[in-house]
Amino acid sequence: MSYPPVIPANGLNFTKILHSDTYPAIDPTTESKHSGHAIFITGASSGIGLATAHSFAKAGASYIGLASLDPFPSTITTSLHSAAALGNHPPPKLSILHLDVLDQPSIDTAVSHISATFNAKLDVLINCAGYMAPGASIAASDDDAYWRTFEVNLRGTYRVTKAFLPLVLQDTAGLKTVVNISSVAAHNLRCEYSSYGISKNAILRFTEFLMAENAEAGLLAYCVHPGAVLTRLAESMPRDTLAGLKDTPEMAADTLVYLTQGRREWLAGRYLSCTWDLPELLAREDEIVGGDKLKMRMVL
């Protein structure tokens, strides 16, 4: 019998209704309310991170911090102000920062800047920065590229979260929310991309520990698969794989904005996918809590 004998469950079909694009129930201009909220997003110069910033602007976020190692579009300020206008909101106060999630001084500078600019307030931290090594078997992999995947995806998420956590927890009336971007790859066995899958799997457990250690302080931590979105990170994947990356960044963005607009203690500490229908998911609270579902567990 070939290995593995059983295809691992990845939860893609957890809800009966699935999405590949945004939909009316999560429209940030009508269904999400973030007025007065302060948001900080890493990996925000393109793709999912950039789309998420625009979605928060549409939902009326008052402060939006965007950080990335890569350059931002020259039109970033204008486009975010236009996004806010779509939701009939005033322009958000913006902080656009160069940030290396592996450089502690860079992170410390970002924390100080955001604290000063956002009046010592941060409601939602979204760890969206990521990296994927080019496909290669473990035996044929490049040591540096393989390990950089862990450095960016796991160590970067850890460092940014640790640094910003006091600010997230400081406001007693705040949302106190951290969202870690994971992937369905955490549950799959895709050969030649083991470093990515393992690092994203580790983020699931990191999120659970983060929640367990800070629940009494009011933290809500979520681990989220954004969907199969064609981003810069995925550009080195095989052509047939790229052809299947048809989910839109707007779907992921609008899901994150809808999810974080209020406090859902029962859902925190769990994994969810942006392809799942949110109204259906939220209606299954009793099932999810009663069965302690959407967490990593050994099957015996």
Catalytic residues: 196, 200
The DSSP output letter for 233 is G
3-state secondary structure 188-207: CCCCCCHHHHHHHHHHHHHH
Dihedral sign from CA coordinates of 77, 124, 229, 210: positive
Q: Is 262 exposed, middle or buried (0-12, 13-18, 19+ CB in 10 A)?
A: exposed
Cβ-Cβ contacts under 8 Å for 176 (sequence gap 6 or more): 123, 168, 169, 217, 218, 219, 220, 263
Quickly tell me which residue has 């203690």 as its tokens: 265
CA-CA distance, 276 to 273, in Å (whole number)? 6
Angle at the Cα of 96 from the Cα atoms of 61 and 65, rounded to 5 degrees:
30
- Beta strands (DSSP E) in 56-153 are 63-68, 93-98, 124-127
Q: Are the CB atoms for 135 and 236 separated by under 8 Å?
A: yes
CA-CA distance, 49 to 60, in Å (whole number)? 17
Q: Are the CB atoms for 59 and 262 separated by under 8 Å?
A: no
Longest Cα pair distance anywhere in the chain, in angstroms? 62
